[in-house]
């Protein structure tokens, strides 16, 4: 199913606080760098999406920011290695579910 602009906005809005928590829970500097990059790119994307008129929210979603188009490998890596990056079970489970939604957006 093709994602709409509204769906993309909601999914990215929902993952941002989880990504922020993951940053603070990550104990490895390389993991923090990866998460920070993901957070920054998704934030830039959602800022642009919030500029879209509510009347246009039903249109097909295409990434607005060119850099966010290249985030998929990082999202997949984080999803596959979540248990090594985030120790708290609650944070890991919530982020894992939301990560899959965002990965699906960029597929």
Separation between Cα atoms, residue 95 and residue 12, nearest integer Å: 12
The string of pLDDT tens digits covering residues 33-85 is 999 999 999 999 999 999 988 788 898 998 988 888 889 999 999 999 999 99
Residue 88 sits at φ, ψ, to 5 deg, of -70, 125
For a pLDDT cut of 90, what percent of the chain falls above it?
74
Q: According to the model, what pLDDT value does residue 54 have? A: 78
Q: According to the model, what pLDDT value does residue 47 have? A: 94
pTM of the model: 0.91
Q: With the CA atoms of 13, 11, 83 and 87 taken in that order, what torsion angle do they form, in degrees rounded to the nearest 10? A: 30
Is 76 in contact with 35 (CB distance < 8 Å)? no
């Amino acid at each position: 199913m093709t994602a709409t602009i509204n769906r993309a906005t909601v999914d990215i809005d929902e993952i941002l606080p989880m990504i922020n928590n993951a940053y603070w829970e990550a104990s490895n500097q390389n993991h923090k760098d990866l998460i920070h990059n993901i957070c920054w790119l998704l934030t830039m994307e959602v800022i642009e999406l919030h500029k879209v008129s509510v009347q246009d929210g039903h249109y097909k979603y295409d990434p607005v920011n060119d850099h966010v188009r290249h985030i998929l490998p990082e999202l997949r890596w984080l999803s596959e290695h979540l248990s090594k990056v985030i120790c708290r079970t609650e944070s890991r489970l919530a982020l894992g579910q939301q990560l899959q939604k965002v990965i699906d957006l960029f597929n």
